[in-house]
Structure 1
Amino acid sequence: MIRAEDAPRDLSALVVPRWGTLEATDDVFEPYRLVGADGAVVSPVAAYLKELQACGRAASTLRSYGMDLLRWFRFLRAIEVGWDQATRVEARDFCCWVQVTDKPVRPHWRREADDARRAASPVPAARPTRVDVPNTVTGKTGPGVRYAPATVAHCETVLRSFYDFHLEAGSGPMVNPFPLARDRRGGRANAHHNPMESFKKERTGRYRPRMAQRVPRQIPDRKFDELFAQLSSHRDRALVAFWVSTGARAAELLGATCGDADPGQQLITVIRKGTRFMQQLPASPDAFVWLRLYQVQIQGLVPVGLDQPLWWTLRRPFRSLTYHAARAMFTRANAALGANWSLHDLRHSAAYRMIRDPAMPLTDVQWVLGHAQLSTTQVYLAAPAEDVIAAVLAHHARQAQNRSAADSSMGYRPESLSVLFGREFG
């Protein structure tokens, strides 16, 4: 007989309240903090984020980890289980729930009245999966109503690391609720690996979902020209020209200062995302031309100095340009073409352009992109999806042409039929 407390949890009827929030602060020692509905800081999460910061993780990493922990604590509050009382049953149910539930709709920041109303409302129940149709211009599917497999996998990894930290500190449960895969339990990874063979990718988490290997998408040259024509300011043109010629990540370029741009040598200095090292990247001459036009346009409107931000907003009061504002600019340009390219697709486009140059070694492309492993850069050796589609369509056209030529060559010549049957043919 199954006791009531041991009965399977009905996830379809589970209502997860929108409890707590992840707040950004101006404190360099605590960039983000997770606070509950009462405004108190969640101390287990604060200790974990402090550990990550001490390990040299960037503020963007702390935010990403904090959002995963926020989902977990909201789920625990809905099932009325303490974070230090969670077991593998709760971890299993959470991984099932996060894969089938809909993402909460984020209210607009201007709608303060709606914020208060929606903050008290629960997360809507799971709806049938919507079939996402690829964009007719880019071939990319937009974000779905549910969490992507990459988001679920990242969440599982973060929570396993969170409980490993508290397990080591002695402040959490005695067993990590998020276990490793069964074939890894009690041993280390690649314990009996043959050194003559390459390492294979392993799923370390038992509840980690499978993810398909995606080929990076580029923006075709013709479409890029159309997209560039939709940009409405010299600043936007300079930004896009730098992104597509340097291959820098969006946040890396937005963090540049006035002293980082060196037009004389066609170099711009960025701080790399992972290593936090400063690296000079060569850029195209057009990028510096648009940058100079932009600097003349804002001359006398923003502070001057080598350590001042290079990119500013276009409206008063002038502020340093953020990633979200730059993404909104690029989204507006996409909307004019009915496309859904992202800022990261500009980095992919730069990589594909450099790879196609036979005079540029693959190791040089690796250095420009800032990849730690050459295998990461090798993914760009594969042909883009649009090139493969064009090649296959050309193949079908050649096959049809060959069949037509074969059909026309079959049969007898008219003069031969005339000799055989004694009358005119053809």
Structure 2
Amino acid sequence: MSDFFATMLASGASPNSLRSYGLALLRWWRFLAAIGVSWDRATPVEARDFVLWMRVVGPVGRPSGYAPTTINHALAVVKAFYVDRAAAGQGPLVNLIPSAAHRAGRQVQAHHNPMAPFTAGRRAPLRQKILDRLPRSLPDGMFDALFAALGSHRDRALLAFYVSTGARASELLGVSVDHIDPGEQRIGVHRKGSGRLQWLPASADSFVWLRLYEQQLDRPDGERALWLTRRRPVRPLTYSATRRMLQRANLSLGTSWTLHDLRHTAAQRMIEDPNLSLTDVQWVLGHAHLTTTQIYLRSRTDEVVARVLEHHRTRRDRPTEMPPAAGYTRDVLDVLLSGGRRG
């Protein structure tokens, strides 16, 4: 397995990608250990049972199994691992994770017309169907309630930066003290995947809460991480601890908001601002493709329902009396339709 990760590193994979691939392979290795099959003896039958196991036995706190996106990611990682091992002359000769081309017996989109858009192909065997869901964002009232439920200036500063910068959870947690610019109201984050430094604009309130957080903080000498734990020993704040912080606030409110919902909230707020273009929002969010940003253009369910109800109300209040036809006066119509006589 170390050779596989060495190949990923040589290909420019980021530490986050290595961690993601490592966790997916660890899940596959644990499944093989449970059924008593070595990795180089696995067959498509074990791959099928692996998917069935993930659909039923999920992580702690989720009784309905792993999410479809997690299952598809695990299949992609396992397939990439066996491709690498086959190239090295190890493992099965045929990859045990089938592809859509394998089902069709030909290469998908092999003779695609470059002037025409790509069409959605058939889903590969074992891959899970992904529901087309709208990004979940917090309405202003719910965000205010969540903000009030937080217990420290650090947590409030984090929440304010999340909804004003649109940064990913890991990106904001990785900010160092030398990447804060209150004068320009910017914060520097290293983008997920590419690792490049990007300075994102943030709200003035974010820096106010950041200042209050720093006044209460006893920062150890030489510690460069911006976000630190409140309990000793003081160390950089982790993703798990930040998620737990949000879970405590959710518990008090009876909600289930996630850190990624805060990024969706920032995106939705920027999309609704007529002074910002779609490419502006794409730059802030760090999307490689504009089509990814376009998902925020679709209306949320509550907005559609409110507009349709308003449509029904306006139709109910609309006068039903029809205006006179062209060329006829009201008194002439009264004579023609009611049988009355003109005086």
- Shorter-chain TM range is 0.7 to 0.9
Q: What secondary structure does 1:279 align onto?
A: strand
Give 1:294 deviation, angstroms. 1.1
Which of structure 1's runs of 4+ aligned residues deviate more than 6 A? Answer: none
Could you tell me which amino acid in structure 2 is paired with residue 262 of structure 1?
A: D
Deviation track 1:303-338 (CA, whole Å, cap 9, x = no partner) reads 356x71111111122111111111111111122211
Could you tell me which amino acid in structure 2 is paired with residue 333 of structure 1?
A: A
In the other structure, the counterpart of 2:329 is none
Could you tell me which amino acid in structure 2 is paired with residue 303 of structure 1?
A: P
**In 2: Cα distance, 1:396 partner to 1:68 partner:** 50
Would you say 1:86 and 2:42 are equivalent positions?
Answer: yes
TM-score, normalising length: structure 1: 0.70
**In 1: Cα distance, 2:129 partner to 2:168 partner:** 26
Give 1:238 deviation, angstroms. 0.9
1:157–1:205 Cα contact (<8 Å) kept: no
In the other structure, the counterpart of 1:328 is 244
2:16–2:193 Cα contact (<8 Å) kept: no
In the other structure, the counterpart of 1:308 is 224
Q: What secondary structure does 2:94 align onto?
A: coil
2:162–2:172 Cα contact (<8 Å) kept: yes
2:101–2:108 Cα contact (<8 Å) kept: no
Give 1:361 deviation, angstroms. 1.0
In the other structure, the counterpart of 1:350 is 266
Distance change in 2, residues 1:374/1:264 (3 Å): same
2:71–2:128 Cα contact (<8 Å) kept: yes
Correspondence for 1:155 among 70, 74, 94: 74
Deviation track 1:81-100 (CA, whole Å, cap 9, x = no partner) reads 2211222222223223322x
Would you say 1:279 and 2:228 are equivalent positions?
Answer: no
**In 1: Cα distance, 2:312 partner to 2:103 partner:** 47
Q: How does 1:27-46 map to 2 (within 5 A)?
A: 45-46=1-2
Would you say 1:249 and 2:205 are equivalent positions?
Answer: no
**In 1: Cα distance, 2:63 partner to 2:122 partner:** 24
TM-score, normalising length: structure 2: 0.86
In the other structure, the counterpart of 2:3 is 47
**In 2: Cα distance, 1:321 partner to 1:64 partner:** 19
Give 1:155 deviation, angstroms. 1.2
Correspondence for 2:139 among 202, 214, 220: 220
Give 1:201 deviation, angstroms. 4.0
In the other structure, the counterpart of 2:292 is 376
**In 1: Cα distance, 2:270 partner to 2:2 partner:** 43
Give 1:197 deviation, angstroms. 2.2
In the other structure, the counterpart of 1:237 is 156
Deviation track 1:128-173 (CA, whole Å, cap 9, x = no partner) reads xxxxxxxxxxxxxxx5531111111111111111111101111111
Q: What secondary structure does 1:269 align onto?
A: strand
Q: How does 1:116-135 map to 2 (within 5 A)?
A: none
The more displaced of 371-380 and 173-182 is 173-182
Could you tell me which amino acid in structure 1 is paired with residue 262 of structure 2?
A: L
Give 1:340 deviation, angstroms. 0.5
Distance change in 2, residues 1:63/1:79 (3 Å): same
Distance change in 2, residues 1:297/1:79 (3 Å): closer
Deviation track 1:9-34 (CA, whole Å, cap 9, x = no partner) reads xxxxxxxxxxxxxxxxxxxxxxxxxx
In the other structure, the counterpart of 1:341 is 257
**In 1: Cα distance, 2:103 partner to 2:136 partner:** 34
The more displaced of 167-176 and 385-394 is 385-394
In the other structure, the counterpart of 2:281 is 365
**In 2: Cα distance, 1:71 partner to 1:275 partner:** 26
Distance change in 2, residues 1:53/1:205 (3 Å): farther
**In 1: Cα distance, 2:36 partner to 2:219 partner:** 52
Would you say 1:193 and 2:112 are equivalent positions?
Answer: yes
The two structures, once aligned, show a CA RMSD in angstroms of: 2.3
Give 1:374 deviation, angstroms. 0.5
**In 1: Cα distance, 2:231 partner to 2:281 partner:** 37
Identity %: 52
Correspondence for 1:103 among 58, 70, 82: 58
